[in-house]
Every structure is written in C-alpha cells, then in structure tokens.
Structure 1
C-alpha cells in the first residue's frame, strides 16, 4: 500500500526518466507558483507539517503525484497511498484501521493519498467521508477531472482545492535542462547536445505536460547513437520522431468538453466568426462527436437567431443532413458552414476559414479556454469559471466588444468575408466589430477576469471573527478598504503585503481575500506588532498574518531575513507614504518586492486638500484683516516643503512615480463626513505640542501671523460657533495603482 517505498528507490536507475526526475523537495519543484511559491499557504502548511485535507486537480504531467511524494518525504505523519482505479471499500477500511491504530498507539496522524480520486464511485467516496470529517485521516486527492462534479460534494466542502495548470514553456525548458545536467538521475554523465530548435519542438508539442516532455527526451537520447566523439546529438528530425503529435487533453465527459462547447456557443452567440471557427477546430481536432456539435447549433439557431433569420434552422438542418450523407472528413465543410451562418446570420460560403483555424490548432501550442468563456454552471464559485462574461443580449444591437479567442490569438483573423451575395452585406459589420474588439484590447478597457486556482471550505469561526472585526471600522474606512482591494484584485492564492498595518484595517480584509496565500503586515514598532498578533490569536495558526516591525526603508532587508525568496502579488497600504519625504524612492523600493505581474495599491490622504478650520464659521464674525491673516496662517501649514505630509499633491506624485519607471494610475475620491467639536478637540488645536509630536500645532502656526490677543479672539469665535456642535468635514484620498513596467 505504500507508494513511496524503499524498493522503488532502489530501482531508480531502471525507472523511466520522468519517474527518476521527479522533484524530491519543494525547492526542486518547477511551476505552479500560485500554489507553492514561497509565502503561499500550501507551501507553509507542507513545511510546517500542518497540512489539512486537499485535492489537487489538473491535467496529466502538472505535478499532482509529485506534490504528494514531496509531502510524504517531509511529513512526520504516517503516509498511505491508494489508487482509486485499483482500490475499493476493502482498501479504504484497511487504511482507516491503520490510521486508527497509529493514532492510538503512537499519537501519529495519518495522511491518505488517493490517486485518481474521481474514479471512486459514490459509495466508496461515502465510505471515506466520515473518517475525513472526524480527522482520522487527512485526505490528499489527485484528479484530472473537475472535483466540483466528479468528487463527492461533502468531500470537496471539507478540502482545500488547488488547481494545477499546464506548465509554461519556461518551466518545461527548466525541466529539460535539469534532466540533461543531472549526473545521477538524468543524462549529466553523457555528452548530450540538443539543438535549440529540437528542444523548442519538444517543449511546444509537450503542451504543458512535463511527463510527455521527459518521455520524448528519453526516447530521443536512448535511441540515438553517439558519434565518434561520444556525443549524442539530438537534431530536429530526431525530436520530431520522438514526439510526433500533440496530445490534446479532451475528455468527452469532462471539463474540456463542457468548457469548449461553452466557449463555442458563446462565440457564435457573440457574432464572432473567428473565435467560433477556432473553438470548432478545437473540438474537431480533439475528436468531439460532430453530431453533438450540430445538435447544439440547431438549438442555437432558434435560441439566439430565431426570426432574425428564419432560414437559420433550415440551413443548419440541411448541413446536418448533408453531414450524415457525406461523413468525415469532408463533412467538416458542413460543420463550418452551419457555424459561420449562425455567427454572421446571413449564409456564408467562405468555408476555407475553418481550415485556417484548424491549421492554427495543429501548429500552435494548445491554449487554455479563457476563464470568462468557461462553463459557469458547475464551478463559478470555486474556480471563477464564467466570471466576467458579457452577455451580448444585454447590450445595444445585441453585441459587445469582448474577446473570445485565447490571449495569444487575440487579433488573429480566420474568417475573411467576401463581397459576394449576402456575404457582401455582412462584410462591413464583421470588420466594424473586429475594429471595436481590437480597440478594446489595445485600450485595456476589457480584460478577462483571472481564473480562481484554489478553493478552501469556509472556516465559519474565522469568517465570523473577521466580519465582526471589519464591521467595527467606520463607514469611510470601510469604503477606502473596499476601494483598495477592488483595485488590487487579489486572488485566493495571492501573497499580500500591507505596508502600514498598525490599524489592522487592510490586514483582516487581505486575510479574507487570500485564504490559500499569505498576508504580511508591516508595523512601525514591536508594540504595534504585538497588538496585531494578539488580535490574530483567534485565527488558526496558518491563517495568521506574519508581522514585520520595520520602517519602509528597513523593510527589504528585514523581509530578506525572515522570508527569503518571498515576493508579493499585491502590496497595499493606507497612508503608508505619509511620513516619507521622498515618496517616489520608497515606491520604487516597494516595487522590487513585487512579483513580475504584481500590483501596488495605496490609499493616501491628500493632506493639502483637507478641510480648513477657518472655513467652518462665518468670516463676517471676525475683522476682515484678522480673518485674512488667520487664513494665511492656516494655509502655511499646507505649504511646508519639508513636511512629507503636505509637500505633495496628486500631480507631483504622478510625475515622480512616472520618473522611476512605473505605470501609474491615480484617482481621487472625496469623502464628506461629520466632525463633533468637543472641548478636548479645541484644546488640542490651541495648545502648543511640538515637543511631543515633533510637528507644530495649529496655534503655533497662528502665532506667526497673529498676536496673542488676536489668537484669543479667534479661539473665542471657535468656541461660540463650533463648540459641542457637529460640523461638515471633507477629506480627499488618492488611490494609487502602480505596476512595474
């Protein structure tokens, strides 16, 4: 029952290259940074040996079993593995008995790894559920299917879900280089030379699957004889023989089926013939049943075209009958004709565009379906599929500028309408829509929401505590907090840095947004750090923020000492720059702590725009010249170039940030509120306190323009007009969003 036994290790040299090169530690693991990069919750849980039940979902070759091996090598818990294809109720019971025995005799936890967990039937999953629920075993499930409809809902609700994505080209190059250079497990002892175009071919056709890449590399090396110098030379021809055709991940009962047909239907409904042909080509190339496609088109002909073109149903039915008579491969013409007819409404005879799209599928690396086009019926809450999709019928003329192609193909043209017949009438409309889509893409006004890659069940106690804590802040602060996170758009797996966490406002909201990531809270001294830590004691240990006591100047070195290699997806802060004289330099330093795709969002009160006290009462109550000097004295507060709180305005900050090479967007929000003027507040305004606060008090500025008797007159007027009254007060906050260029 032990998957990772010593017998397996002893035969490593005879194992396939893909098995030999499996990472043994998290540092060797390549890819999936959203789940296991330094600072992420999963990595911290593995390193601290505090793992709770998890399910790894993703295509083959993305590292699900490898992560389980790494956990097995690092945990102090007893580790059991079973394969759902081969195991049944008997094996589940045996694993539970072992777990109970370990807990009773050795006080040891048990981790149960179930490979291909979706293969368990309902009764088998039900048999496992109570033991996961009561903590007898900690479940690690691995599945290539969507866990939200292939795994028992009760198991899903008690597990954190980590979606593993196909590896990028950079990751695959790193894996190939490791295999070629490792002298023990790879080919480091051999003289292997791989031509750049040969390696590029292997990486491209592997299509994000590390196992496929290593299998092809092994076949190329093992079947190529060394030359006279002992060099194994891998040419493009050898690479092409080793991995001849792209493996397309397409299960007719799984995610790829539902997501791709969803993207296809949305593209046809959205009157985008280019995207419609692309998704049609994806389905045909992957072996989807053409009759299923024609059935969906027949439905769409009535559902989304209807009486706008009564011939739509006639044409689709004629195409379906023609397909039944002709069959494949020539029947692809009829599929393309039905698709183009519905996508453009009038009949189209420009069918060769389909083969342009098919050629793109054959030549280009397979792209994932953009998240907003995926089927939202089953897992919108978990993975965010379908979020951000713009429903065309809700817009004027039943069309909206929206991208339906994958990111790397946006702007690609497959369909070229001719000027013949009815097609000539639609030519202008097609071109106009393409121009609108291109304009939206260039202006960055329409960006598809990112896909949610992790999920965890709601910890009710923690959520209640966070909600209660957040509800105690004022309406204005809550609004500022919401705006910050609206701009930052954090994901559940993100690592977030709050650079001014003394009040805790953004810290607790960050914890709600990133339950599978991590939150670092920067405070100015140990006393503030202790306050945050005491508040966080009600949260589970792994969910608590990491507090860092440092100034912003000290921050990079402090982080390097306590959290090396941690870079942040979002850096947020409220009034973080208030006491920084050179704000641009501090921002530039903070940007170095970001991930390449990270974002810095700050909410900075623009003190220059703060409510003036002299405007709170009627000017006619004072002598005109006295009122004029009062105003001049107060305005001097906001004109001090040596005071970092007032020595800047929005445009100053914008220009300074552009000068350090960042893309910056600053928006102003005005917040009207109410202020109760108490006797304590008046005393604070009219008491000298520079020695305590290191800043001149209001009365000290007045003394530069007014005599002592005049100050007494002003105070008396303040008391008559304002004391024990509520007055209107306005403040202005600049929301700064900076992205590294």
Structure 2
C-alpha cells in the first residue's frame, strides 16, 4: 500500500511501462471520453474527479489514465492492486482516509483489477464511497454489471474504454521507436501488421515490438520486418467474461436463425477461446427444446446424446459431437411453441392462485368424493373427450413446421372445438 511514485522508472522496465503517457495530450485513444469538453476530461483537468469505474479490454489505457490523474490531483493518491491486496490492506486505507476526511482532506483510491475483489471486499468500500471519505477509481477488464456488486455500481459512474484503433497503435509504436530505438530500421508493413495483430491492445503491441527488436538487434544491419513480427507474435483469442456471454449469445442466435456456417464459426471461436465444452453442450440442449421443439423431436435426443458424449470423452474429440449437434439444431425446422405454451400456462397458474383439481382427476387414494374418470384406452382410438382443467384455456398452439404440422392436424381431429 504505497502512493504511486513519480520517480523515473528504471531503464530495464518493460517498454509499455517506460512509454506511459505523462499527460492527456500524450494519451492515445478513448476520444469518446477525453476529447476537449467531454465530462471525464473536464473532471480531470479541474481536479474534480468523482468515484468512477474504468471498464474495458486490457491495454486500452485504464491504468495509464489513473497515473495521469495521480499527477494532476491535489488529493492524496493511493494505489492498490486487487490481485495482491487483502481486506486488511483495504481497511487500513479506509481508516486513514476517514481520518483525513474528518480533517477536510481528500483521498483518491485507485484499485486496479477491482473485479478480483470478492463480494465482502467490494461491500467494505460502500460506506466510504457513499459518504465521500474516498474518491474511488476502479479499473476492470470484466463487465461491472457482472463483476461488481450493485451497490458499488450505483455509487460510481462507469466509463467504458474501447480497444485502440490500428491508427492509434501505429502512432504508439512509432513513438516508442523514435524515443527508445532510433537506430532500428522498421518496415511500414511490419508496423501495420503488428497493429492489426494486437487487437486494440497497446500493451501487447509494445511488448511484441520489444521482443521483435530484441531478435534483430544483434544483426549487422538491424531491421524489423513483417516476417519477424509474424514469428514473434503469438496470436490468441482474448476470451474474457464478457466474450463468454457475447459469444454464446451469437452462437445461440445463429442456431435459432438456421445459419449452419455462423453456428460453426462461433462454436470454433468458443472452443479456441477455452470455453467449457459442457457449457456449450448445455446451451445446444436448451436450444433444441426452446427453438426446435416438436418441429423435430429428434433434435433434443441428439443434443442430449452429444452432452453425455462430451461428458464422457471430453476434448478434443468431443468437439465433433458438439459440431454435429449444433448443426442439427441449426438446420432443423424451428418452433418455439412449446416454450410459449409453457410461459402462458405458468402465467395462468400465477394469476389464478388457489386452484382446485377436478375430482375425477385426483389420486385414487383420495377420500374426497370423486367424479367418474373416463379411461381413454377403453374408447375408440384410445381417446375420449373430457375435462382435464378447472377452466378451459388454450396454451399450446402448434406451428406448421416439420413434425409439429402433423401434431396440429391430430389435435384438430381430437379437440375439434378447441383446435378446429
């Protein structure tokens, strides 16, 4: 627990650390937040920052902006990392901030990776933030609407950070070369490739540049080429919590929309990102019921079999089972009539409250006087018309899709008044 140091960083520090912007003029990206006249910029320049949460992907400037605020504020600036700090560290800071608050002094507390605090640690902050004893700046790569307790979200304004554009990344890379590697020759194509492969992550771009320069620096005529960048850069999917929800949503909607290619694309995306295969299998099973339903009853059977198969054999072979089940659901005829019917029935039960089961439908062990129950198998075609509900309601309305069309025709013959 120490205030951020304003001393120069050591020469051996990572390039991304050495190139941190010192003021808003050097800061790249986030123009939607920091262009002249924007609320956040006005607050920073006027030393009027209130409790905020900076939320966005890694390498987009959240911590850098906190350092800039530290250099401009007259408040005591204290930085904590939620990865290393415990509840004891947090309470120590809050007690000091409370004492300063009573003396009329301000304390600005920056918590990096704040989403890593558990619920108790997050709620420990609430009274101090509520009363203004601390000005909280939290940085998070996770969506605060999932990662932070509601009380903390309501007391701090959320500012979303976006990935850096390729133009901003090229500017950042050229700045690094001019300042620290003026003697290294670099192909323009190499910078463009590096910016594209960095996926909006400034830290990744600078780290990869540093590795590339290390590789070529011993050469007689050092030059960073696109080939070197390709060798250095290890491309991976930044699969975080938000992508977990977004990717599964895209996958489900692609199956529902009967697009087999998009279904496979998002399945591959999730698998390459390290998604739990059983989670994917469960979502395919749900889609088989919710979006296909009785239009093709085989869908839920195949999806259930795929789930059990993946559970038994795991990856990588289980990916084939997921692909087969997902493609079946995507290409099957669609009907959500079962889903809609269940929702209607549930609403009816909630609205009616006290429901009496008709006497002829009650358990045979009941001592209550029972009416005459008509046993369907004793009648032609194993069907007899009788009341099965306290009050007649129409919940299930089959579609004309797939096998459900045949179900619809059968119901018309059995229940002429209801489905005719």
Q: Which of these residues, 156, 159, 163, is aligned with residue 159 of structure 1?
A: 156
Q: Provide the rounded CA distance (Å) in 1 between the counterparts of 2:124 and 2:282.
A: 39
Answer yes or no: is the 8 Å Cα contact 2:208–2:232 preserved in 1.
Answer: yes
Deviations 1:328-374 (A, max 9, x none): 33433332221121112169xxxxxxxxxxxxxxxxxxxxxxxxxxx
In the other structure, the counterpart of 2:175 is 178
Q: Which of these residues, 246, 252, 258, is aligned with residue 265 of structure 1?
A: 252
In the other structure, the counterpart of 1:293 is 280
Calculate the TM-score normalised by the size of structure 2: 0.75
Q: Provide the rounded CA distance (Å) in 1 between the counterparts of 2:288 and 2:329.
A: 7
1:38 aligns with 2:36: yes
In the other structure, the counterpart of 1:145 is 142
Q: Provide the rounded CA distance (Å) in 2 between the counterparts of 1:327 and 1:346.
A: 29
Answer yes or no: is the 8 Å Cα contact 1:272–1:343 preserved in 2.
Answer: yes
Cα shift at 1:327 = 4.6
Q: Provide the rounded CA distance (Å) in 1 between the counterparts of 2:306 and 2:232.
A: 40
1:242 aligns with 2:232: yes
Cα shift at 1:255 = 1.8
The 3-state SS of whatever aligns with 2:78 is strand
Q: Which of these residues, 195, 217, 222, is aligned with residue 232 of structure 1?
A: 222
In the other structure, the counterpart of 1:278 is 265
Cα shift at 1:232 = 2.3
Aligned 1:206-605 pairs, distance under 5 A: 206-228=198-220, 231-246=221-236, 248-251=237-240, 254-323=241-310, 327-345=314-332
The 3-state SS of whatever aligns with 2:326 is helix
Cα shift at 1:323 = 4.5
Cα shift at 1:104 = 4.6
Cα shift at 1:210 = 0.8
Q: Judging changes above 3 Å, is the alpha-carbon distance between structure 1 residues 103 and 333 closer, same or farther for their aligned structure 2 residues? A: closer
**Matched residues, number:** 338
Q: Provide the rounded CA distance (Å) in 2 between the counterparts of 1:225 and 1:39.
A: 44
The 3-state SS of whatever aligns with 1:13 is coil
Q: For structure 1, list consecutive stretches of 5 or more residues without a partner in the other structure.
A: 348-396, 400-421, 423-741
Q: Provide the rounded CA distance (Å) in 1 between the counterparts of 2:5 and 2:167.
A: 32
In the other structure, the counterpart of 2:67 is 69
Q: Judging changes above 3 Å, is the alpha-carbon distance between structure 1 residues 224 and 303 closer, same or farther for their aligned structure 2 residues? A: same
Q: Provide the rounded CA distance (Å) in 1 between the counterparts of 2:194 and 2:147.
A: 32
Q: For structure 2, list consecutive stretches of 5 or more residues without a partner in the other structure.
A: 335-398, 403-420
The 3-state SS of whatever aligns with 1:15 is coil
- Which one has a larger percent strand, Structure 1 or Structure 2? 1
The 3-state SS of whatever aligns with 1:10 is coil
Q: Judging changes above 3 Å, is the alpha-carbon distance between structure 1 residues 175 and 297 closer, same or farther for their aligned structure 2 residues? A: same
The 3-state SS of whatever aligns with 1:303 is helix
Deviations 1:610-632 (A, max 9, x none): xxxxxxxxxxxxxxxxxxxxxxx
The 3-state SS of whatever aligns with 1:220 is helix
In the other structure, the counterpart of 2:5 is 5
The 3-state SS of whatever aligns with 2:222 is strand
The alignment's C-alpha RMSD in Å is 2.4
Q: Provide the rounded CA distance (Å) in 1 between the counterparts of 2:206 and 2:138.
A: 24
Answer yes or no: is the 8 Å Cα contact 1:226–1:233 preserved in 2.
Answer: no
Answer yes or no: is the 8 Å Cα contact 1:54–1:139 preserved in 2.
Answer: yes
1:96 aligns with 2:97: no
Q: Provide the rounded CA distance (Å) in 2 between the counterparts of 1:325 and 1:181.
A: 56
In the other structure, the counterpart of 1:25 is 23
Q: Judging changes above 3 Å, is the alpha-carbon distance between structure 1 residues 327 and 104 closer, same or farther for their aligned structure 2 residues? A: closer
Q: Provide the rounded CA distance (Å) in 2 between the counterparts of 1:199 and 1:3.
A: 36
Q: Provide the rounded CA distance (Å) in 2 between the counterparts of 1:14 and 1:312.
A: 59
Q: Provide the rounded CA distance (Å) in 1 between the counterparts of 2:46 and 2:239.
A: 37
Q: Provide the rounded CA distance (Å) in 2 between the counterparts of 1:47 and 1:37.
A: 12
In the other structure, the counterpart of 1:702 is none
In the other structure, the counterpart of 1:458 is none
Q: Provide the rounded CA distance (Å) in 2 between the counterparts of 1:276 and 1:48.
A: 50
Deviations 1:562-609 (A, max 9, x none): xxxxxxxxxxxxxxxxxxxxxxxxxxxxxxxxxxxxxxxxxxxxxxxx
- Which one has a larger percent helix, Structure 1 or Structure 2? 2
Answer yes or no: is the 8 Å Cα contact 2:295–2:333 preserved in 1.
Answer: no
Q: Judging changes above 3 Å, is the alpha-carbon distance between structure 1 residues 74 and 334 closer, same or farther for their aligned structure 2 residues? A: same
Q: Judging changes above 3 Å, is the alpha-carbon distance between structure 1 residues 53 and 324 closer, same or farther for their aligned structure 2 residues? A: closer
Q: Judging changes above 3 Å, is the alpha-carbon distance between structure 1 residues 97 and 313 closer, same or farther for their aligned structure 2 residues? A: closer
In the other structure, the counterpart of 2:413 is none
Deviations 1:421-461 (A, max 9, x none): x9xxxxxxxxxxxxxxxxxxxxxxxxxxxxxxxxxxxxxxx
Q: Which of these residues, 107, 117, 120, is aligned with residue 117 of structure 2?
A: 120
Answer yes or no: is the 8 Å Cα contact 2:292–2:333 preserved in 1.
Answer: no
Moved more, 163-172 or 41-50: 163-172
Using CA pairs below 8 Å that are at least 6 residues apart, which structure has the higher relative contact order?
Answer: 2
Cα shift at 1:93 = 2.5
Q: Provide the rounded CA distance (Å) in 2 between the counterparts of 1:260 and 1:314.
A: 24
1:193 aligns with 2:185: yes
In the other structure, the counterpart of 2:372 is none
Q: Provide the rounded CA distance (Å) in 1 between the counterparts of 2:95 and 2:147.
A: 26
Q: Judging changes above 3 Å, is the alpha-carbon distance between structure 1 residues 398 and 30 closer, same or farther for their aligned structure 2 residues? A: farther
Cα shift at 1:20 = 0.5
Q: Provide the rounded CA distance (Å) in 1 between the counterparts of 2:159 and 2:292.
A: 39
Calculate the TM-score normalised by the size of structure 1: 0.43
